[in-house]
Copies of this chain bind each other. A is one copy, B any other.
């Protein structure tokens, strides 16, 4: 479906992205490739900053998360266990007329008159029969007349016995070959001449191998809002068939079923598959998480909304493994209600960093400290708050975001809850990130499919279980057992086996064993970049001395994500002392941040260029810097992108002043 033309803001953004080198169409010189986008110099920096901030916040700044970087191509068995091979698909229809393929759930309803054909005969074939049986124009002529009256071949044979042998031959050969007797229908908008339906039918039967097809006279019917016909040519669509969205390839020199592999459609599954390896090598214990950033691929049938839904994209996913509630209760005697988890204090989290007092950066530690009595609801709420705070920290205020708590009927069968964090894009309010409580589904699936144990041993649980009153341990045992059994039955394990396995699983509790549950904050990098660009986009209209007005773009990125942190500019290009000093300033800042040195054009134009690139600060070296006014020697002008205000600052203070703002 085409984007609405009226979305002027989106058009401006796409155009700016190309003009300033944020985002290009992939393979543009070859006409592009639908659903693939490249990041140019500014876009690549913006994306690196976002990924780096996520990794820092989620991994390096925490004791309880370890990183992973797994391959895009993995064993195909992973996608059997995850369910992607069987169910990660869109329903697709083919048009029987123009042969185009469509997503069944994206067909626009249409109304009009359906012309239904039950078949067609090949007039050339009829002529040949007439010749063979010496009937003159007998069969062809008579049938054309009969057909005009909706008569059938059988009627014709009954009424004109001399034609019977020829008609029998038609019925036996053509019916066998199935070329002629295939039904076909076309939808015509009310008022369109019936002849155009016949033309389409003729083409349809031609494609089936009839040389000169004459369709049987159609029946017609008025229909409203049907989605069974092609939106482009009106022909009938095939029944929807599932089309798997994973890109498929073959690994190794032989392209057969044994060597099929898929490009991962999400990064999460690698985390589950390597759960035990990470647990065993990282000195982590549940609760803890594994974080990964990386590319994923989905063969979307209709990529759309610029980079929002593309076929190659990047994800930032955390799988945070927690104790099942029964285990928490066994150890702590209670499970904390989610209401006890208070929101973080955003102001504190955004605290700045200074080189003079380097410990002043403090990403971590502002959220309530995790407590051992947190069950899945508390952890889920914690991660929702944590993630929103992340977005706030890079410039997406709460006002630009929405929290959407999925309704029970919307949840995947294994999910206990899922919150979508939405952003108000120009094309609609859409998901940036989903935070799902996925129970123990994923690890359980991989345990069953790989035959490798995915559970953990928890000494604290073992010790606590031994001390529980019998009615308590029975109750917890029962709840754990019921959950396990419900999962197994849902997965198709037969009742008897499910009872046996669930019993064994629940018996594990007393030995300190369980399969961890998981909370999954899963964010899309590309859609976040698009949100940041949308959020930053602003225009300012200025009037110059001559009264000419000019509208220009200012990209108001948060300094933390801005591709360039500071523009460094000598006032004039042709004064070597200014240039030398400017290069000194550049080299002083550069080891700590991305700076852009620019000496081309008027200073106003250079500022405007940096505004459009989203550079939060420009530093100008002028004659005062060189000591023209002695009291200003070795000071520079710092100009603020968002309001154009300027202030004078000593070069020696510059880095310490900038650094807390851009980190």
Is the beta-carbon distance between A591 and B353 smaller than 8 angstroms? yes
B-side contacts of A295, CB under 8 Å: 72, 295
**Is A286 in the interface zone, CB < 8 Å from B?**
no
Q: Which has the most chain B C-beta neighbours within 10 Å: A69, A277, A311? A: A69
Is the beta-carbon distance between B591 and A74 smaller than 8 angstroms? no
Alpha-carbon distance between A24 and B591 when the two chains are bound, in angstroms = 34
User: Considering the complex of A and B, which 10 residue pairs feature the smallest CB-CB distances, nearest first?
Assistant: A21-B281, A27-B75, A361-B591, A41-B66, A359-B588, A39-B69, A44-B67, A29-B450, A30-B75, A38-B70
Is the beta-carbon distance between A359 and B587 smaller than 8 angstroms? yes
**Is A128 in the interface zone, CB < 8 Å from B?**
no
With A71-B36, A253-B101: A61-B590 Cβ-Cβ less than 8 Å: yes
Is the beta-carbon distance between A270 and B38 smaller than 8 angstroms? yes
**Is A129 in the interface zone, CB < 8 Å from B?**
no
Is the beta-carbon distance between A597 and B24 smaller than 8 angstroms? no
With A21-B281, A253-B243, A281-B40: A27-B72 Cβ-Cβ less than 8 Å: no
Is the beta-carbon distance between A251 and B299 smaller than 8 angstroms? yes
Is the beta-carbon distance between B452 and A29 smaller than 8 angstroms? yes
B-side contacts of A361, CB under 8 Å: 591-592
Is the beta-carbon distance between B30 and A273 smaller than 8 angstroms? yes
B-side contacts of A283, CB under 8 Å: 598, 600, 609
Alpha-carbon distance between A36 and B33 when the two chains are bound, in angstroms = 27
- Minimal Cβ-Cβ distance residue in B for A314: B69
B-side contacts of A20, CB under 8 Å: 281
18 A-B pairs besides A28-B277, A29-B276, A29-B446 with CB distance below 8 A are A26-B270, A29-B452, A30-B273, A33-B73, A33-B251, A36-B74, A39-B68, A40-B68, A40-B282, A41-B278, A52-B52, A73-B247, A73-B297, A355-B358, A358-B655, A361-B592, A362-B587, A363-B590
> Chain A: residues with CB nearer than 8 A to chain B?
18-21, 24, 26-45, 47-48, 52, 55, 60-61, 63, 66-75, 77-78, 92, 101, 243, 247-254, 261, 263, 270, 273-274, 276-278, 281-283, 292, 295, 297, 299, 301, 311-312, 353, 355, 358-359, 361-365, 446, 449-450, 452, 587-588, 590-592, 594, 597-598, 600, 609, 655-656, 663
Q: Which has the most chain B C-beta neighbours within 10 Å: A38, A68, A248, A450? A: A38
Alpha-carbon distance between A203 and B631 when the two chains are bound, in angstroms = 97
Is the beta-carbon distance between A69 and B55 smaller than 8 angstroms? no
Alpha-carbon distance between A590 and B373 when the two chains are bound, in angstroms = 27
- Minimal Cβ-Cβ distance residue in B for A60: B594
Alpha-carbon distance between A180 and B656 when the two chains are bound, in angstroms = 86
16 of the cross-chain contacts (CB-CB < 8 Å) are: A26-B70, A27-B74, A30-B449, A34-B252, A38-B274, A39-B70, A41-B66, A41-B281, A92-B253, A101-B254, A249-B263, A358-B591, A358-B655, A359-B591, A359-B655, A364-B587
Is the beta-carbon distance between A274 and B24 smaller than 8 angstroms? yes
Q: How far is the CB of A619 from chain B (nearest CB, A)?
A: 14
B-side contacts of A587, CB under 8 Å: 359, 362, 364-365
Q: How far is the CB of A422 from chain B (nearest CB, A)?
A: 26
Is the beta-carbon distance between A41 and B67 smaller than 8 angstroms? yes
Is the beta-carbon distance between A277 and B21 smaller than 8 angstroms? yes
- Minimal Cβ-Cβ distance residue in B for A284: B41
B-side contacts of A299, CB under 8 Å: 250-253
B-side contacts of A276, CB under 8 Å: 29
With A44-B69, A311-B251, A358-B355: A75-B273 Cβ-Cβ less than 8 Å: no
Alpha-carbon distance between A494 and B514 when the two chains are bound, in angstroms = 73
Alpha-carbon distance between A26 and B269 when the two chains are bound, in angstroms = 12
- Minimal Cβ-Cβ distance residue in B for A453: B29
Is the beta-carbon distance between B35 and A75 smaller than 8 angstroms? no
B-side contacts of A281, CB under 8 Å: 18-21, 40-42
B-side contacts of A66, CB under 8 Å: 21, 40-41
B-side contacts of A36, CB under 8 Å: 71, 73-74
B-side contacts of A32, CB under 8 Å: 75
- Minimal Cβ-Cβ distance residue in B for A272: B29
B-side contacts of A597, CB under 8 Å: 63
